[in-house]
Amino acid sequence: MSLALVLEQLLNGVQFGLMLFLMSAGLTLVFGVMGLINLAHGSLYMIGAFCCAAFAAMTGNFWLGLVAGIAAAAAAGAIIEVTVIRRLYARDHLDQVLATFALILILSEGVRLIFGPFPLYLNVPDVLRGTVDLGVTRYSLYRLALIGFGIAVAVGLWLLIAKTRLGIQIRAGESDREMIAALGVNIRWLYTVVFALGAALAGMAGALVGAIQSVQVGMGEPVLILAFVVIVIGGIGSIKGAMVGALLVGVIDTMGRFLLPRAFATFMEPSQAMGVGAALASMLIYLLMALVLILRPKGLFPAHG
């Protein structure tokens, strides 16, 4: 096992973690500000990917497709919030879960109806094709760009939350929704903006990941499960926690799938080692979540201490 291979897998884990952050940040903002459990968040990830792939194929331009995917996810999020979610704020979490689960089915069938049942494929833009020499190995330029893009979005999101008037309202909404409504903030407008922002982040993640995997109906549900693991580990409502949790999940999941089969292969048959190692690797992030819940029940960086 060479250093080059380990470095490549480590970078894959960081890239996976940063894409998970885009998904998780929107989810944790929605829950932190609005108190809403949104199971349909993965469907917004799927909408971003499909709209990006379709628009890029239509125009021949990946970047226009990316903008279209983000805009479509944000618009879908705003429409869903106004027409469906707004009626769920006063309901308990079970009603929210049932309603947003119904949205998963509706949106999946809607996407299948519009785009067809077959996967779409999104080409990497020409400027980001090829590999980069990192000294000990060569690494995909597009995946490296995803790492840089994820970091840039994380910094931008932090600046939005920490330094702008909208960010002040979002942070106040996490602490005391009734008080900011009493102070004259249009709480309905704030909820719509937060939900659309979360949807845009999910759509961005879906569009960017669509170039390294097929774009297909149902692609958002596995990522949604991981996003919930991330916000439980990091702390609900915490952007910092979402970043740390996403990187932990991305690196541990990727390195576990890479290292455990090789470790078991030292004393087991290769086929058995592969099966056992893969099974245990898939459990690692859930074991990490359980450990965090035992030691820090509110997560590593809870929004309210």
First to last CA, the chain: 42
Q: Is residue 250 part of a domain?
A: no
In a domain, 270, yes or no: no
Q: Is residue 149 part of a domain?
A: yes
Q: Kindly report whether the global pTM for this prediction surpasses the value 0.85.
A: yes
Give residues with Cβ within 8 angstroms of 104, minimum separation 6. Answer: 39, 40, 42, 43, 221
CA 178, 89, 194, 145 dihedral sign is positive
Q: Tens digits of per-residue pLDDT, 218-273?
A: 888 888 899 999 999 988 878 888 999 999 999 999 988 888 888 888 887 878 88
Q: State the burial class of residue 255 (Cβ atoms within 10 Å of its Cβ: 0-12, 13-18, 19+).
A: middle
Please count the CA atoms within 13 angstroms of the CA of 108 that sit on its side-chain side.
Answer: 16
- Note whether residue 124 is domain-resident: yes
Instruction: Give the span between the Cα atoms of 87 and 212, in whole angstroms.
Output: 37
Look at residue 26 in the predicted model and tell me its pLDDT. Answer: 86
What pLDDT digit, counting tens, does each position of 171-186 carry?
776 666 677 777 777 7
What pLDDT score does 177 carry? Answer: 67
Closest CA to 46 of 99, 110, 128, 97: 110
Report yes or no: 104 and 40 within 8 Å, Cβ to Cβ: yes
Domain count, the chain: 1
Calculate the alpha carbon distances from 85 to 80, 173, 204, 221 in Å.
6, 17, 21, 19
Looking at the predicted structure, is the pLDDT value of residue 305 above 60? Answer: no
Domain ranges, residue 58: 3-218
Do you know the residue count of the chain? Answer: 305
Residue 188: inside a domain, yes or no?
Answer: yes
Specify the 3-state DSSP secondary structure of 250: helix
Examine residue 237 and state whether it is found in any structural domain, yes or no: no
Q: Tell whether 203 is covered by a domain.
A: yes
Please work out, in degrees rounded to the nearest 5, the angle formed at the alpha carbon of residue 293 by the alpha carbons of 291 and 296: 100
What's the angle, vertex CA 139, arms to CA 135 and CA 143, rounded to 5? 140
pLDDT tens, residue by residue, 80-134: 999 988 888 778 878 888 999 999 999 999 999 999 888 998 888 888 888 888 8
H helix runs in 60-140, sequence order: 62-83, 93-115
Say yes or no to pLDDT of 73 above 70: yes
Whole-angstrom CA distances from 230 to 14, 101, 116 are 14, 20, 32
Report H helices in 164-268: 165-175, 177-182, 187-209, 220-234, 239-264
Indicate the angle between helix axes 141-163 and 3-34, nearest 10 degrees. Answer: 30
Max CA pair span of the chain: 67
User: Which three-class secondary structure state does DSSP give residue 138?
Assistant: strand
Please enumerate in sequence order all residues whose Cβ is within 8 A of that of 227, keeping only pairs 6 or more positions apart, or say none: 20, 23, 24, 27, 41, 42
* Torsion sign across C-alpha atoms 33, 34, 35, 41: negative
Contact 286, 302 (CB under 8 A): no
- The answer to whether residue 297 sits within a structural domain is no
- pLDDT given for residue 265 in this prediction: 81
